[in-house]
Amino acid sequence: MDKKFCLDLTLDDLKRWCDDNSVQSFRAKQIYGWLSSGVTDTAEMTNVPKDLRYKLEQDFIMGRMRVIEKYVSAIDGTTKFVYLLHDGNIIETVVMRYKTGLSVCISSQAGCKMGCAFCASAKAGFGRSLTSGELLAQVLVSQREMGEKIRSVVVMGIGEPFDNYGNLLGFIKLVTDPDGAGLGARHITVSTCGLVPKINEFADLGSQVNLAVSLHAPNDDIRLKIMPVARSYPMEELLEACRRYTEKTGRRITFEYSLFAGVNDSLECADELAGRLKGMLCHVNLIAANEFPGSEFKRSPSGRVAAFRKRLEELRINATLRREMGTDIMAACGQLRRGIEGSDV
């Protein structure tokens, strides 16, 4: 049987492991305490006996997810961590500082299958989905590196979280565990490019976790040009699922809309978008698209972005412009990349 990564373990898993190995049950909580504070290297688990640390190493993948590079933005202090996973895959995680405290943007997969035309993450292909513990590690290890508590998590980095649904739910369970990381569900946001069946499943959970949907277009014609997912899930179906989500959960949904010059940033687009979203419990988060080397898309000029927002507001659609963070270290939306150890992918 493949070894599990230590942060995939719940407290119950550890209790069972202790039972199976005739280890006193209080050790489970002790080990879980270390793991929940981001300590995955047994050498640092100073109150755990040596033979038990050895046994942990035999049975689980310990301490094998580490930061190999760190970049700090000179503009706003946004910090990007590059993580090496135990099998050589490389992912990126970004920590941003807001008035409310630190927020971390984590990756859900090494690479992405969704192929959005404007996204650097799609360019390097797909490696694999991350386990729930690898999602959690990005929160806990980044927190440790920052020396400060992470207040909120957005699952908006590399990958499509709903394409890794089981592990996403496992992660939410782990990160909200009051005996563990103890983050409130309302402080977590999951972002999808629009996998309708999973939006429906997620709605049925009645979870307090926030949902963001990457729309980036007011109609299928434009959406099809930039997001292949629109072939499987046309806009009407997608918006129907979003409406159902708001009705089932009573929670507001966020639509992400990146503005690309000459593609989706006209006032006609704003009018059409407002018409589609009318009456929905929603909020539009506008993003002045971030460029990356090799990208065919150009960011919308700031005047256009402002006009687009103004038009939405005139049409009574709540819209904000997302503050750009970490653009100088390629840490902003759509700029994250996957890699493999020893390659320059």
Task: Check binding of 127 to ligand SF4 (CB under 6 A).
Answer: no
- Residue 160 binds ligand SF4 (CB under 6 A): yes
**Which residue, among 207, 118, 194, 104, has the nearest Cα to 157 in the 3D structure?**
104
What lies within 8 Å, CB to CB, of 274 at 6+ separation is: 311, 312, 315, 316, 317
Minimum CB distance to ligand SF4 smaller for 34 or for 292: 292
Quick one: CA torsion of 35, 39, 44, 47, rounded to 10 degrees?
Answer: -30
User: Measured from the CB atom, is 61 or 263 closer to ligand SF4?
Assistant: 263
188 scored as a contact of ligand SF4 (CB under 6 A): no
Cβ–Cβ < 8 Å for 86, 64:
yes
Of the candidates 320, 316, 317, 318, the residue with the CA atom closest to the CA atom of residue 306: 320
- Choices 37-45, 55-63, 108-116, 198-206 (CB under 6 A): range interacting with ligand SF4: 108-116
Judge whether 333 counts as a catalytic residue: yes
d(C-alpha 226, C-alpha 233), whole Å: 14
Report yes or no: 108 and 157 within 8 Å, Cβ to Cβ.
yes
**Is residue 119 close enough to count as binding ligand SF4 by CB under 6 A?**
yes
Catalytic residue (choose from 92, 134, 160, 256): 92
Element (H or E) spanning 97, and its range? strand 89-98
282 is catalytic: no
Given candidates 42, 121, 132, 142, which one binds ligand SF4 under the rule CB under 6 A?
A: 121
170 binds ligand SF4 (CB under 6 A): no
Closest CA to 283 of 314, 313, 245, 240: 313
The correct pick among 127, 159, 180, 326 for binding ligand SF4 (CB under 6 A) is 159
Site size toward ligand SF4, by CB under 6 A: 11
Q: Which is nearer to ligand SF4, 38 or 326 (CB)?
A: 326
Amino acid letter, 317: I
Find the binder of ligand SF4 among 11, 139, 168, 193 (CB under 6 A): 193
Helix (H, G, I), strand (E, B) or coil at 201: helix
Interacting span for ligand SF4 (CB under 6 A) from 112-120, 235-243, 245-253, 314-322: 112-120
Instruction: Choose between 122 and 274: whose C-beta lies nearer to ligand SF4.
Output: 122
**What is the closest distance, in whole angstroms, from the C-beta atom of residue 118 to ligand SF4 in the complex?**
7
Nearest to 345 by CA among 83, 90, 113, 158: 90
Q: Which of 193, 242, 269, 333 is catalytic?
A: 333
Q: Residues interacting with ligand SF4, by CB under 6 A?
A: 112, 114-116, 119, 121-122, 158-160, 193
Q: Which residues have a catalytic role annotated?
A: 92, 333
